[in-house]
Each structure stands twice: as C-alpha cells, then as structure tokens.
Amino acid sequence: MYRKKDRVVFIGVVVFLALTMSAMAGDVSDTWIAPTLLFKVTLVFKVDGTTLTGTVNTHPGDEAEIKDGKIDGDKISFYIVRTSNKKKVKVRFKGVVDGNEIRFTRDADGTVTNIIAKRTGSDSSLSI
C-alpha cells in the first residue's frame, strides 16, 4: 500500500510540473525585440489559450497583423503578409520559447533567416 501511495504522489508531481512548464512556455503575451543586421523587429503578442494574436513591426509605421498564430507548449508559429515590389509576400515565423527568449526561423518566400527575440515588456527585467 505504501508503494502505491508513493507512485500516486510521484505521478501527481510529474503532471503538475509538466502543466506548469507548459503554461510558462506559452506565456508570451508581451513585447519582444529581435535585432537583425538591417533593422529591429518589434513583436507584440497577445495569447488566448493556444491562439496567438498581435503585430510585427520592422520600421516605423510598418505594422503587420499576425495571422494563424498558435502556441503549442514551447512552440510558437504565425505568419504576416508584407508587400514587396507590389507583390504580397507571406512571411512565416516558427519559434521555440525559452524563458525570456524566442528563437525564430523566419521564411520570407524561400529566404530563411534565424532571429532571436528577447522579452522587453513590464513582466521582464530584460531590455534592449
């Protein structure tokens, strides 16, 4: 009987930790900055369950709405639409959340780059 009780407690602790880590990874509602060689990307995220909304801005006045945003554990994905040379381009972002950092792969019509965004909002001690 003692072993069964220990097993139940152990499973309870594992489930609690898994849920806590998942909730922490998914908590990206904030402002994030990702400096690149050419410009600074500002990402403003809002999360509702597993749905991600918000905006991406690369230049003043150049704000794009996040489309099809999803959070799945520590994984984040969405796309934005940009206009380049009078052509609409879908820019896809896929990332992994690690505390106050998100490592993104950004795919703009086949041009793939990696960027790292850091949390800068009021919930963080980081600033860029």
Phi/psi of residue 124, nearest 5 degrees: -130, 155
Each residue of 67-121: pLDDT tens digit? 999 999 999 999 999 887 889 999 999 999 999 999 999 999 899 999 999 998 6
For domain 2-119, give the fold.
Answer: Lipocalin (2.40.128)
Cα(47)–Cα(25) distance, integer angstroms: 12
| pLDDT at site 84 | 79
| pLDDT at site 3 | 66
| pLDDT at site 123 | 47
**Would the pLDDT of 8 be above 80?**
no
Cα(112)–Cα(89) distance, integer angstroms: 13
Cα(2)–Cα(65) distance, integer angstroms: 56
| pLDDT at site 53 | 97
| pLDDT at site 60 | 72
Q: Taking the mean position of all CA atoms in its chain, how far away is CA 2?
A: 43
**Would the pLDDT of 4 be above 80?**
no
Each residue of 46-73: pLDDT tens digit? 999 999 999 999 877 789 999 999 999 9
For residue 59, give both structure tokens: 């230049």
**Would the pLDDT of 20 be above 50?**
no
Is residue 116 within 8 A of residue 108, CB to CB? The reply is no
Is residue 57 within 8 A of residue 63, CB to CB? The reply is yes
Cα(104)–Cα(36) distance, integer angstroms: 12
Determine the average pLDDT of the residues in 22-37.
76
What region does 10 belong to: left with phi over 0, alpha with psi -120 to 50, or beta?
A: alpha
Is residue 96 within 8 A of residue 75, CB to CB? The reply is yes
**With bands split at pLDDT 50, 70 and 90, how would you rate the model's confidence at 15?**
very low
